[in-house]
């Protein structure tokens, strides 16, 4: 099956801040519908026209969100979900199916899927799910930025160390007013 990749910049969010969404389905119409919907919601979308193409994609590219069809002729959605969990444990996944069963929904939940969509789609629900995922991605970006800022400016025993000093070589053991510090690999930290 052919692998179709589309990188769009519509949807308002700067391209660098757009979460990558992988949509996997053997039906080209479903790929097109979800791709358009997700792009409008602010995602950078990659489409795979089957499970095998998705396995290749997730092995070589980081994805933040995946919407995966359960039943495909080459590789089923649960196998794709397992591969995503292995390669990208923090990727948020959703399964979709026209033949939803309780057993497949339970298995999807056990594998960490955040939701299970039935076909035909409830577009209001899909829109709400994508909005929730976008909010989570924005929250993660803010937390990572705060963590980077904290890492740049560390305070130790009342002394402030800024990033250039953090790479300064210090003695292997340092005692400052009862506060012990040690170095790893010749640098502080």
DSSP notation for 93-123: EEEEESS--HHHHHHHHHTT-SEEEESSP-H
Average pLDDT for 46-74: 94
User: Residue 97 CB: number of other CB atoms within 10 A?
Assistant: 18
pLDDT for residue 81: 95
The mean per-residue pLDDT over the stretch 73-91 comes to 92
Mean pLDDT of 76-86: 93
Contacts of 172 (CB under 8 A, 6+ apart): 182, 183
Give me the residue spans of the domains in the chain.
3-147, 163-188
Residue 86 pLDDT level (bands cut at 50, 70, 90): very high
CA distance 9 to 7: 7
Nearest to 113 by CA among 70, 144, 75: 70
Mean local confidence (pLDDT), 144-173 = 63
Q: State whether CATH 1.20.120.140 applies to domain 3-147.
A: no
């Amino acid at each position: 099956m052919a692998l179709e990749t589309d990188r769009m910049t519509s949807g308002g969010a700067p391209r660098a801040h757009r979460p990558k969404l992988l949509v996997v389905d053997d039906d080209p119409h479903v790929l097109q519908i979800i791709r358009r919907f997700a792009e409008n919601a602010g995602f950078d979308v990659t489409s795979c026209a089957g499970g095998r193409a998705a396995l290749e994609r997730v092995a070589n590219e980081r994805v933040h969100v995946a919407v995966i069809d359960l039943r495909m002729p080459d590789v089923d959605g649960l196998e794709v979900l397992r591969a995503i969990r292995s390669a990208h444990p923090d990727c948020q996944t959703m399964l979709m199916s026209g033949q939803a069963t309780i057993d497949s929904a339970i298995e999807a939940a056990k594998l960490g899927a955040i939701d299970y969509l039935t076909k035909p789609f409830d577009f209001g629900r899909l829109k709400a799910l994508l909005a929730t995922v976008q909010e989570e991605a924005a929250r993660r970006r803010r937390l990572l930025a705060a963590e980077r800022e904290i890492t740049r400016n560390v305070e130790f025993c009342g002394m402030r160390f800024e990033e250039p000093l953090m790479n300064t070589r210090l003695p292997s053991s340092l005692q400052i007013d009862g506060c012990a510090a040690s170095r790893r690999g010749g640098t502080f930290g």
